[in-house]
Chain A
Amino acid sequence: MATTEELTDDVHEAPDDDAEEREPTDEEGESKSGGKAKKDLPATAQPKVFERRSGAALRNVLTITKREFKAYFDSIVAYVVVCLTLLIVGVWFFFFGFWQVERASVSRLFDGVGSLPILLSFLVLPLLTMRALAEEKRSGTIELLITMPVKDSEVILGKFFAALGLTAVLLLCTLVYPIAMFAWPWHMGALDWGPVTTSYVGLLLMGSAGIAVGMMFSSFTENQIVAFFVTAAVLALLWFIGSIVEFVHGPIGDAISFVSFQTRFLPFSRGLVDTRAVIYFLSITIICLLAAFRSLESRKWS
């Protein structure tokens, strides 16, 4: 499930990726011809034409994704994230949800303090993205990466997919709980897998938006701690403002429910795939990735 979702994500992103790559060249061209009087170049025999090997873009994104994904496991980040999440969700699920309500249900996985969406916002996504660009800029490794024949957009996308991949792995791990309770080894009854599936789809979509937000903040700073806290604060805010919707009426209330991740996620947890929410999460993803791309590119002009 997670993998198909990832693929659809990829498809959604593809056309945008192209747009991303084309724009800057226009801009570069402009600033070059418009900016200053060019000196006469010595006559070149023929301008050389450069053609990129076919499939280079995709291959570069994959190479970077692979490296980043492995880096999560080479450092302890991946283990910490997975273990902490499983632990907190497990405690929340069994001691504060599962046995409290009279009927056996997995709704606790998606709702409340120790639930997956909140953990993702507060902990997982900020942790996964804080290093993405901030650390590369601080240590200078970005210079070696960027001076390889890769586009800035490929760097951003590669890192994005690595974080998304790890999020998918993490979500797969949490499937242990519903499976253990309702399929094997215990059979607590028939579980309605529909809402569970849509919830996971929603989580992954929200995850992709959150990762993009995190990468954006990571690209703004050289300090990964700053990136972590700002991302966590923004994602938490986007989640929790959904809780005050019932008290605020009128256009402000509408605006809040429009931007809140919580209200956007709600239909998924009830078994609905809300296209508006899908588009909302994907838009956030694209906008924030574009911002990160621009910020990475701005090093050229500062």
Chain B
Amino acid sequence: MSTDVMIYANDLSKNFGSFRAVDKINFEVRRGEVVGFLGPNGAGKSTTMRILTCFISPTGGTAKINGFDVFDDPLAVRESLGYLPQRAPLYLEMSVLEYLKFAADLRGLDDSTFKKRARSVVEVCGLAQVLGKEIRHLSHGYRQRVGLGQALIHDPPILILDEPTSDLDPNEKAEFLDYIKQIGQERTVLLSTHNLSEVEIACARAIIVSKGRVVADGPLDEIRAKSGRVRYVVSIQESAGTHPYRGKGLPPKKAEVETLLNALDGVRKVTELPTDERAHTYELATDEGVDLRPELFQMIVQKGWVLLELHRDAQTLEDVFRHLTIGDARRNRTLDAGAEDEDEESDEAEEETEADETDDDDSDAKDKD
């Protein structure tokens, strides 16, 4: 392990009773990296973070933070990091300043350091207006800022943030992500989120977990390329409405279009997208490395159809995410999957399913995230 590996997890596992929340997770995060920790609800993100912060102990495996083992040196581990748990649980009866002072005291900061750090934290987190207010009177967005503030107060080399942006408004989010990017230059940040666009803004690298396992880990470009699929959207006019139809003969029927599209070389899958009665719109999935656009165009010209739209794009991070974690969504919808506990981690039972065919059919479950 080179010295700049700040977060190191080796075969980390955690069982809650018979349920395996984290299953042999392996990853490393180096100094100067901002890593997005992604996964559907109940995939084991929070559990992993709690292990890394020594709040709970792993059932198996080892983890090191800043070179300190979570078993042997929990205090050293905790001193090296700033942690913001999910939903920022703070003491509601304290004022913001009191809370920051309390955190600083436990971190062993002396008064003058505290003043210096507090000034910068207040600026970064935008807390100047609420310093004297009791936390109970703050909105969730502000509470989250205070939570961030306490995580930053001792200027830690490592930050572990569990859904730090969940209650922020879009402006705050943008500001916050900017800041993370900036401090991430010489620090290490591990942040979990459901929001993939945030990862794309702030992180160069992502780790995607599903069912307690790491299913993807690498730079965002690599992850995007991982599924190796390209998709095309073709839209062909079905009816011109009151306008005269400009194509050859009659507008094509749905079945005709579908057959021809399916017949094209290299097309793996044809999915109809919802449209009105004016057009047939299809999404085509193909293998990487083939460009189907010329063939599509030729075919349409030959038939004399009217092409309304044709575009091609590589899969977005979101598609990859859906593809990689699709098993989770399925499982949440089948009743026989096992006991469904109220605990957020335990809403998945041990059950390994198929996730080979890619359909986005049941991916709408993800959209809620």
| Interface, chain A (partner B; CB < 8 A) | 25, 28-29, 32, 35-36, 38-39, 41-45, 47-48, 50, 52-53, 56, 59-60, 63-64, 67, 70-71, 74-75, 139-141, 143-144, 146-151, 299-302
CB distance from A36 to the nearest CB of B (A): 5
Q: Which residues on the A side are within 8 Å of B31 (C-beta)?
A: none
Contact of A140 among B87, B93, B103 (CB under 8 A): B87
Contact of B62 among A38, A64, A146 (CB under 8 A): A38
CB distance from B147 to the nearest CB of A (A): 8
A302 near B62 (CB under 8 angstroms)? no
| Segment with Cβ contacts to A, from B51-59, B175-183, B310-318 | B51-59
What is the CA–CA distance of A71 and B93 in the complex, to the nearest angstrom?
Answer: 7
- Which residue of chain B is the closest to A138 with respect to CB atoms? B89
A53 near B91 (CB under 8 angstroms)? no
- Kindly state whether residue B83 has any CB partner on chain A within 8 Å: yes
Q: Which residues on the A side are within 8 Å of B94 (C-beta)?
A: 67, 71, 74
- Kindly state whether residue B225 has any CB partner on chain A within 8 Å: no
Q: Which residues on the B side are within 8 Å of A140 (C-beta)?
A: 85, 87, 89
B106 near A60 (CB under 8 angstroms)? yes
Q: Which residues on the A side are within 8 Å of B71 (C-beta)?
A: 28-29, 32
CB distance from A66 to the nearest CB of B (A): 8
Q: Give me the 9 closest cross-chain CB pairs, A-B, nearest first.
A: A50-B76, A140-B89, A74-B93, A42-B1, A300-B57, A149-B78, A148-B106, A63-B105, A149-B79
- Kindly state whether residue B278 has any CB partner on chain A within 8 Å: no
What is the CA–CA distance of A302 and B106 in the complex, to the nearest angstrom?
Answer: 27
A52 near B75 (CB under 8 angstroms)? yes
A48-B76 contact given A141-B89, A143-B50, CB 8 Å threshold = yes
- Kindly state whether residue B90 has any CB partner on chain A within 8 Å: yes
CB distance from A201 to the nearest CB of B (A): 32
What is the CA–CA distance of A126 and B98 in the complex, to the nearest angstrom?
Answer: 27
- Kindly state whether residue B11 has any CB partner on chain A within 8 Å: yes
Q: Which residues on the A side are within 8 Å of B67 (C-beta)?
A: 44, 47-48
What is the CA–CA distance of A176 and B93 in the complex, to the nearest angstrom?
Answer: 30
Q: Which residues on the A side are within 8 Å of B120 (C-beta)?
A: none
Q: Which residues on the B side are within 8 Å of A45 (C-beta)?
A: 3
- Kindly state whether residue B325 has any CB partner on chain A within 8 Å: no
Q: Which residues on the B side are within 8 Å of A42 (C-beta)?
A: 1
A59 near B105 (CB under 8 angstroms)? yes
- Kindly state whether residue B72 has any CB partner on chain A within 8 Å: yes
B85 near A144 (CB under 8 angstroms)? yes
What is the CA–CA distance of A151 and B60 in the complex, to the nearest angstrom?
Answer: 22
Q: Which residues on the B side are within 8 Å of A44 (C-beta)?
A: 1, 67
B79 near A28 (CB under 8 angstroms)? no
A50-B93 contact given A59-B105, A144-B150, A299-B56, CB 8 Å threshold = no
What is the CA–CA distance of A147 and B98 in the complex, to the nearest angstrom?
Answer: 18
What is the CA–CA distance of A52 and B74 in the complex, to the nearest angstrom?
Answer: 11
- Kindly state whether residue B219 has any CB partner on chain A within 8 Å: no
Q: Which residues on the B side are within 8 Å of A74 (C-beta)?
A: 93-94
A302 near B85 (CB under 8 angstroms)? no
